[in-house]
């Protein structure tokens, strides 16, 4: 087994044009995972310290989500014009500036503005990392992209844990944001030295390949739809599974929280196992098979709550859901970026915007359904979403294959 893992790592590194830049991108995504969980980790302190209501907290959070997916759209369009180094530079400056100022004053509206600017920076950095990875991965299989996004998942797990550990030392809680600002400035200096602009996307020739032609490409729209459904379903399962375990399976709250970790363990394992199975020839089969596993596991999780509330089976299905979800986002980004290489920045930016829309819209839908008909029906909604994702992904794979067959046409 060790030999197999070593072979996978060596194969992965040989498939990357610049290993130092890959390591830098891994660090960027790790810090992104930590930074994007800070709000949730400090939310109780924000509410108690500043006297915010749940509605005011939601306004601040929602403003960041909208800003993030707007940033991904425009960052994708600007990438070939400004270059990857400038894109990272702008993103890091906005993100670090926002982290320096967030939670410094109690005003909700000041913090909305700061969160908007900070999230614009996060969106630019996210697109910069994805596009750079597409440029340095030789075969476009998505193996290195999956490992890159595993770094984000590690950060999402470490973020709340490290924040809690720091708060235990007695430091003022909002200094956590200032510390992250310093780390983002350090990352900016590292990325400046690594110079990702060596792999800039060629400026699109809009006379030969106008953006209007991109709008007629099914891959463009299906990439958006796929990631919208995926992020909505993925965040839905991970955000609601603990409450589902408490309400439906009568799991004590102190144990139910580990269901979230179980999902992320499955997702992490899947992303680190991806180099073993992903090749250009297998990419589409692995992607579709993962979506089948995700849809089946989420559907069985919903059915289990109605037919046979078994906590042990729930743990197994949540783990399987995470494993099935693992490769979908990063491999879809690779598929879209490779299929629409002439408009790579626009295509990847728009697809990632779909994920941002899903992360914003789905929580409201789930909350409304659960409030009206109960959390069992709410989880059935996520089951339906997972099967719609499977259908969208099937159409995307077919459209990408057709596009590849057409070549440069």
Confidence grade of residue 4 (pLDDT, cut at 50, 70, 90) = very low
The total number of residues written for the chain in this structure: 409
Burial 71-104 (b: 16+ CB within 10 A, else e): bbbebbbbbbebbbbbbbbbbbbbbbbbbbbbbe
CA angle 178, 179, 185 (to 5 degrees): 90
The CATH class of 213-401 is: mainly alpha
Q: What is the pLDDT of residue 408?
A: 45
The answer to whether residue 38 scores a pLDDT higher than 90 is no
Q: What is the pLDDT of residue 99?
A: 96
Q: Out of 15-29, 58-72, 119-133, 166-180, give the one with best mean pLDDT.
A: 119-133
Q: For the segment 368-397, what is each residue's pLDDT rounded down to a tens digit? A: 888 888 889 988 999 999 999 999 999 999
C-beta atoms surrounding 247 within 10 Å? 16
* β-bridge mates for residue 137, sequence order: 16
Q: Distance (Å, rounded) from C-alpha 177 to C-alpha 138?
A: 37
Q: Distance (Å, rounded) from C-alpha 284 to C-alpha 282?
A: 6
Q: What is the mean pLDDT of residues 341-369?
A: 88
What percent of the chain lies above the pLDDT cut of 70?
93
What percent of the chain lies above the pLDDT cut of 90?
48
Q: What is the pLDDT of residue 206?
A: 53
Higher-pLDDT residue of 322, 407: 322
Q: What is the pLDDT of residue 204?
A: 59
Residue 334: C-alpha distances to residues 261, 269, 272, 274, 328 (Å): 27, 19, 16, 13, 10
Higher-pLDDT residue of 375, 300: 300
The answer to whether 18-196 and 213-401 have equal CATH topology is: yes
Q: Distance (Å, rounded) from C-alpha 121 to C-alpha 74?
A: 12
Q: How far out from the chain centre does Cα 109 lie?
A: 27
The answer to whether residue 12 scores a pLDDT higher than 60 is no
The answer to whether residue 1 scores a pLDDT higher than 50 is no
Long-range contacts of 313-320 (CB under 8 A, 24+ apart): 314/245, 314/249, 314/251, 314/259, 315/259, 315/262, 318/237, 318/241, 318/259, 318/262, 318/263, 318/266, 319/262, 319/263, 319/265, 319/266, 320/266, 320/293, 320/296
Residue 184: C-alpha distances to residues 3, 52, 175 (Å): 36, 28, 14
Judged by average pLDDT, the poorest of 74-83, 117-126, 176-185, 367-376 is 367-376
Confidence grade of residue 208 (pLDDT, cut at 50, 70, 90) = low
Q: What is the pLDDT of residue 323?
A: 95
Q: What is the mean pLDDT of residues 294-299?
A: 96
* Burial of 265 per CB tally in 10 Å (0-12, 13-18, 19+): middle
The answer to whether residue 7 scores a pLDDT higher than 50 is no
- Contact at 8 Å (CB) between 128 and 210? no
- Contact at 8 Å (CB) between 330 and 392? no
Residue 137 phi/psi, 5-degree rounding, is -85, 120
The answer to whether residue 158 scores a pLDDT higher than 80 is yes
The answer to whether residue 20 scores a pLDDT higher than 70 is yes
pTM equals 0.85
Q: What is the mean pLDDT of residues 9-19?
A: 65
We find that the CATH architecture of domain 18-196 is: Up-down Bundle (1.20)
Average pLDDT over the chain reads 87
**Among 44, 45, 39, 135, CA closest to 87:** 135
Residue 107 phi/psi, 5-degree rounding, is -60, 125
Q: For the segment 224-270, what is each residue's pLDDT rounded down to a tens digit? A: 999 999 999 998 888 788 888 888 898 887 788 788 888 988 999 99
The answer to whether residue 161 scores a pLDDT higher than 50 is yes
Q: What is the mean pLDDT of residues 183-190?
A: 95
- Contact at 8 Å (CB) between 239 and 375? no
Contacts of 67 (CB under 8 A, 6+ apart): 115, 116, 117, 118, 119, 120, 123
Residue 16 phi/psi, 5-degree rounding, is -110, 130
Q: Distance (Å, rounded) from C-alpha 307 to C-alpha 355?
A: 32
Q: Distance (Å, rounded) from C-alpha 254 to C-alpha 261?
A: 13
Residue 238: C-alpha distances to residues 65, 270, 363, 372 (Å): 17, 16, 11, 21
Domain boundaries, the chain: 18-196, 213-401
Q: What DSSP state is assigned to residue 171?
A: -
Q: What DSSP state is assigned to residue 172?
A: -
Q: For the segment 77-101, what is each residue's pLDDT rounded down to a tens digit? A: 898 889 999 999 999 999 999 999 9
The answer to whether residue 6 scores a pLDDT higher than 60 is no
Q: What is the mean pLDDT of residues 57-61?
A: 84
Q: What is the pLDDT of residue 409?
A: 45
């Amino acid at each position: 087994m060790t030999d197999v893992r070593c072979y996978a790592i060596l194969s992965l590194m040989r498939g990357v044009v610049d290993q130092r830049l890959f390591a830098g991108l891994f660090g960027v995504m790790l810090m992104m995972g930590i930074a994007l969980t800070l709000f949730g980790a400090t939310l109780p302190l924000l509410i108690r310290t500043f006297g915010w209501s749940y509605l005011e907290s939601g306004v601040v959070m929602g403003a960041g989500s909208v800003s993030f997916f707007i940033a991904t759209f425009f960052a994708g369009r600007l990438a070939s014009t400004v270059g990857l180094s400038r894109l990272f530079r702008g993103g890091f400056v906005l993100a670090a500036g926002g982290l320096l100022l967030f939670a410094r004053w109690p005003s909700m509206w000041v913090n909305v503005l700061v969160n908007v600017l900070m999230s614009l920076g996060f969106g630019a950095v996210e697109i910069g990392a994805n596009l750079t990875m597409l440029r340095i991965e030789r075969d476009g299989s998505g193996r290195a992209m999956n490992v890159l996004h595993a770094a984000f998942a590690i950060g999402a797990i470490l973020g709340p844990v490290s924040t809690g550990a720091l708060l235990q030392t007695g430091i003022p809680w909002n200094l956590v944001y200032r510390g992250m600002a310093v780390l983002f400035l350090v990352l900016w200096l590292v990325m400046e030295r690594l110079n990702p602009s060596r792999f800039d996307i060629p400026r699109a020739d809009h006379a030969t390949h106008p953006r209007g032609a991109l709008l007629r490409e099914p891959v463009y729209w299906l990439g958006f739809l796929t990631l919208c459904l995926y992020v909505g379903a993925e965040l839905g399962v991970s955000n609601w599974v603990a409450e589902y375990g408490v309400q439906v399976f009568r799991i004590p709250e102190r144990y139910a929280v580990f269901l979230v970790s179980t999902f992320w363990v499955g997702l992490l394992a899947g992303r680190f196992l991806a180099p073993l199975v992903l090749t250009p020839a297998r990419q589409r089969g692995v992607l579709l098979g993962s979506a089948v596993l995700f849809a089946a596991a989420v559907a069985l999780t919903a059915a289990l709550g109605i037919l046979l509330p078994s906590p042990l089976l729930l743990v197994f299905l949540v783990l399987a859901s995470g494993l099935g979800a693992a490769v979908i986002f990063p491999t879809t980004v690779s598929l879209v970026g490779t299929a629409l290489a002439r408009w790579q920045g626009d295509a990847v930016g728009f697809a990632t915007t779909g994920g941002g829309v899903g992360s914003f819209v789905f929580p409201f839908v789930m909350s409304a359904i659960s409030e009206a008909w109960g959390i069992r029906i709410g989880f059935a909604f996520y089951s339906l979403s997972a099967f719609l994702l499977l259908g969208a992904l099937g159409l995307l794979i077919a459209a990408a294959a057709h596009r590849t067959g057409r070549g440069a046409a």
